[in-house]
Amino acid sequence: MSWGNHSLWMEFVFLAYPSQSEPRILSFLGVSLVYTWVITGNVLIMVAIQTEARLHTPMYYFLVSFSGVEIGYTAVVVPHLLANILQSEKTITLLGCATQMGFFIGLGSADCFLLASMAYDRHAAVCHPLQYPLIMPRTLCARLVAASVVLGLCLSFQLVAFVFSLPFCPARGIQHFYCDVPPVMCLVCAQSHRHEQSVLVAATLAIAVPFLLIAASYASIVAAVFRAHSAAGRRRAFSTCSSHLAVVLLQYGCCAFMYLRPSSSYHPEQDQFVSLVYTLGTPLLNPFVYTLRNSEMKEAIARVLARSCLPRES
């Protein structure tokens, strides 16, 4: 079987993993611990919102969806990363690499579109509080979530089809922990301005366009907040948006650094660190960011933990 001029079973080798046993063990334990916290934190958010009727609002509906996408986003990469840490041969087939890249970029793009949807929700809540239930019905929320995932995956699979249709050099060592666009593009022999432009267009659609929508939403929110007469109203409006804004800055800062630049500026060691930040760091911090400044979420999670820890009566 082949894809363009390549065999689907052609193998790439990951070169970024530590070779000595002690760093490998420490890396495995560290990544396992962080991954466990990522899954636990996001699952707690999902369970808490699903079990608390008063949290069945558009804002929390988007948060449940965001946590679900984050779990899938990390699951595409981290289990394979953990296996590679322990294995002597750190290889992946072309088909496996394309699949991993497709779902990783697709769910990462869905994250970006979901953050834009969440910004629109906050815009509606702060700028049009009386019409908010009419502006954000449950059906619209479901459509926005579905559109975010579908659009993210469609953009991603088109990008992956383009990248893997290009000719690769004989040396197939990937200077990275998993299959991502910048390190794989470094293996392409026929580098040209057109190829870089194609990747940049896809990255712009997935990153820059949602960010501009978020910026426009927050510009309206800030204007509405400064028009508020009471200081309490301004504090309440800012508190409902600050958590989302913190996640936006962290997510978009890392993604823009990785994807909105020419491949000639790719630096393996530096980019490997940044990729770990948005692959593990951002999903780890999201549950803390969304709960530490939200008393409703803290109370709901506390009740979930209390119910799970209480002994069951026979």
Tens digits of per-residue pLDDT, 87-99? 888 899 988 999 9
pLDDT at residue number 2: 47
Which has the closest alpha carbon to 159: 114, 191, 204? 204
The per-residue pLDDT of the chain, averaged, comes to 85
Mean pLDDT of 140-155: 95
Mean pLDDT of 110-131: 91
Mean pLDDT of 58-72: 94
Report the DSSP pairing between strands 91-93 and 11-14. antiparallel
Mean pLDDT of 100-122: 93
pLDDT at residue number 314: 43
Please indicate, yes or no, if residue 248 is contained in any of the structural domains.
Answer: yes
Whether 156 has a pLDDT exceeding 50, the answer reads yes
Give backbone dihedrals phi and psi of 188, rounded to 5 degrees, phi first.
-75, 130
Which has the closest alpha carbon to 117: 66, 155, 67, 46? 66
Please indicate, yes or no, if residue 235 is contained in any of the structural domains.
Answer: yes
- Ramachandran region, residue 178 (left: φ > 0; alpha: ψ -120 to 50; beta: rest): beta
Domain region containing 104: 11-309
Predicted confidence band at 229 (pLDDT cuts at 50, 70, 90)? low
Please indicate, yes or no, if residue 4 is contained in any of the structural domains.
Answer: no
pLDDT at residue number 144: 96
Please indicate, yes or no, if residue 301 is contained in any of the structural domains.
Answer: yes
pLDDT at residue number 76: 95
Whether 191 has a pLDDT exceeding 70, the answer reads no
Instruction: Provide the CATH number for the domain around residue 122.
Output: 1.20.1070.10
Mean pLDDT of 184-192: 78
Instruction: Report the 10 Å Cβ neighbour count for 250.
Output: 17
Is the Cβ–Cβ distance between 299 and 51 less than 8 Å? Answer: no
Please indicate, yes or no, if residue 38 is contained in any of the structural domains.
Answer: yes
Which has the closest alpha carbon to 253: 286, 277, 221? 277
Please indicate, yes or no, if residue 1 is contained in any of the structural domains.
Answer: no
Q: How many domains does the chain have?
A: 1
Distances (CA, A) of 286 to 71, 149, 169, 292, 312: 11, 19, 39, 10, 32
